[in-house]
Amino acid sequence: MSQQRWALDIGAIPVSRDETKFRVWAPFVNSVAVRMMKGDRPKLSLHPNGKGYFEAVAKAVGPEEKYLFVLDETRERPDPASRFQPEGVHGPSVVVDPGIFQWTDRAWPGMRLRDMIIYEMHVGTFTREGTFEAIIPWLSYLKDTVGITALELMPIAQFPGRRNWGYDGVYPFAPQASYGGPEGLKRLVDACHAAGMAVILDVVYNHLGPEGNYFGEYGPYFTDRYKTPWGSAINYDGPDSDEVRHYFVSNALYWVTEYHIDCLRLDAVHGIYDFSAHHILKEIASAVRVQAEQLHRHIVIIAESDLNDTQIIDPRSQGGYGLDAQWNDDFHHALRVALTHEQNGYYQDFHGLKHLATAVREGFIYQGQHSLFRRRRHGNSSQHCLPSQFVVFSENHDQIGNRAIGDRLSTQLSIDVLKVARALVLLLPNIPLLFMGEEYGETAPFQYFIEHGDPELIDAVRQGRQREFAHFGWNADEIPDPQDPFTLERCRLRLNELDTWQTQLLHWTNALIRLRKTVPTLASGDVETLRHSIWAFEQEQVIVVHRWSNSDGGSLLILGFNRTPVTLVPTAPAGAWQLLLDAGTAEFGGVHPSTMPQEIVITSSGSPLNVPSYAAAVYARR
């Protein structure tokens, strides 16, 4: 494909106002025709064009026309590269002209990774309406009241029914119809850019959902050489895999080109199996880089990975795949254990503030040592990586929704503890992420929900959830029914119903983000110009973080995980430090005007510091 003037070359491709080219890869069939759903027009036969492709140009067919492919004159199926599925995963596809929408963001340059403060959102539960356009009136809240710079949408590719997390998506090119389809998504992206916010899209390239999945009738999209926890593995390295790779590389380019998406978050790349000489992740990253240059925009790629393998984010010049960043689950697990002292499941591998300090200092905690939970060695060294190559969080959709009842930290911890966790996430040199509602301590759960039509599949999902939670020792009877419509309803945010303590927590979140944006040494960092040190006082249960640059004495974070007041001798550079922000003030829900001194003086001989319980304070060096 030409990267200089890239355009999608599969599916229904508008040629003119009343002509559409249909092109589909279908090596498993002998013939393909297209049937238009409007009127009583004869089927149009597509002719073979090499490598298993069939294509033809249809006269008097324009945008908004519905169609189905007819395989071997007997089976009517949706288009694998459908741009829109208004009647669901089993219904007809729709011709969409990508040039019709009037964008207003021509001058939008994209956003650099280091400037991203990410807000992860599920479109269906963020508002009552559950649509793309219903989010738009809330953008000023996200930008101004919270301070968010990048909106991350959980997967929006067409899935079965109206209720789903999105990871059961079946048509990767078709924005979910019940969310508002292509028009609604473009309006949201355009509005985000007008507000100065980037848009991150969560895409799933490790599997396709089972219901409505007719891809196996077209060609060898899947392989039985590998297994994933979610279904058949994508055929990225077997016979006839070149066109499968082309399909998914095209999908990445499609989102950043036709929808002006600023960043792709690649879901669970540990479920992508490719032993070819040129890994599909490297191919996707290379193609997107070239397209970003042609579009004159910053475009970022972030991975979710369970491997603790820096090859994903290492530069191609060093044998890596060249992605920009990855989620750091080790940080989350260590922080949650420090906050809640859980030790079930994978939390058994994480212990105390020492591990949390390692995650802050080095990235991964497990860098090749033995994991008790995995019963083997895990990970490789991340000490050479930049802090800004890791996305950190205290919660996300997985770490809430994959608990038995989908309970958030805000239902388990006091506001004082939540403020400590928030300060750590938002003021580290990593890229911070908040899950929707976390900014004010939403108490509604985030649970797993579906709307499948196949009774056997519904039952399989129910049983799978129970098996998944067995190793945590959770009660199977407490697990909500994913198919029950009320499971989604109880997950909707209550943005208009904030209690006093939630308003105070929201103010704290915004104050931290303002500091991150205005104090240079609190921004995203690298090891060359912006440095950091961390000390974990395990006996006192306090963490001290020093962040500085060559030209700035920097900032000092004092974060208490201590239930009672303690005294410690800070291991930090000597000098006078002036208070910038204190979680203990009344504005943020504290019971006193201030719980930390306005100034602390650290001497080379050691200066004792009294730290109240669950303190969270930021100091600047005078």
Question: Over the Cα atoms of the chain, what is R_g?
Answer: 25
Position 138, amino acid: W
Strands 616-621 and 575-582, how do they pair?
antiparallel
Q: Which two tokens stand for residue 555?
A: 């900032």
The span from the CA of 113 to the CA of 324, in Å, is 8
The residue from 267, 309, 329, 540 that is catalytic is: 267
What DSSP character marks residue 145?
Answer: I
The span from the CA of 596 to the CA of 465, in Å, is 46
The span from the CA of 14 to the CA of 99, in Å, is 9
Residues whose CB falls within 8 Å of the CB of residue 543, separated by 6 or more in sequence, listed in order = 353, 356, 357, 360, 424, 534, 535, 536, 537, 557, 558, 559, 560, 561
**Is 304 part of the annotated catalytic residue set?**
yes
The residue from 211, 304, 309, 314 that is catalytic is: 304
- Angle at which helix 415-427 crosses helix 329-340, to 10 degrees, equals 160
Position 346, amino acid: Y
The span from the CA of 388 to the CA of 428, in Å, is 9
User: Residue 224: beta bridge partners?
Assistant: none
The span from the CA of 258 to the CA of 237, in Å, is 28
- Angle at which helix 500-518 crosses helix 415-427, to 10 degrees, equals 20
Q: Are 231 and 210 in contact (CB under 8 A)?
A: yes
Q: Are 527 and 533 in contact (CB under 8 A)?
A: no
Query: Any long-range contacts for 548-551 (C-beta under 8 Å, 24+ apart)?
Result: 548/521, 548/573, 548/621, 549/520, 549/521
Q: What CA dihedral angle connects 152, 157, 161 and 165, to 10 degrees?
A: -30
Residues whose CB falls within 8 Å of the CB of residue 475, separated by 6 or more in sequence, listed in order = 404
| Nearest to 200, CA basis, from 299, 282, 285 | 299
**Is 240 part of the annotated catalytic residue set?**
no
Q: Are 568 and 542 in contact (CB under 8 A)?
A: yes
Residues in the chain: 622
Q: Are 585 and 593 in contact (CB under 8 A)?
A: yes
Q: Which residues are catalytic?
A: 267, 304
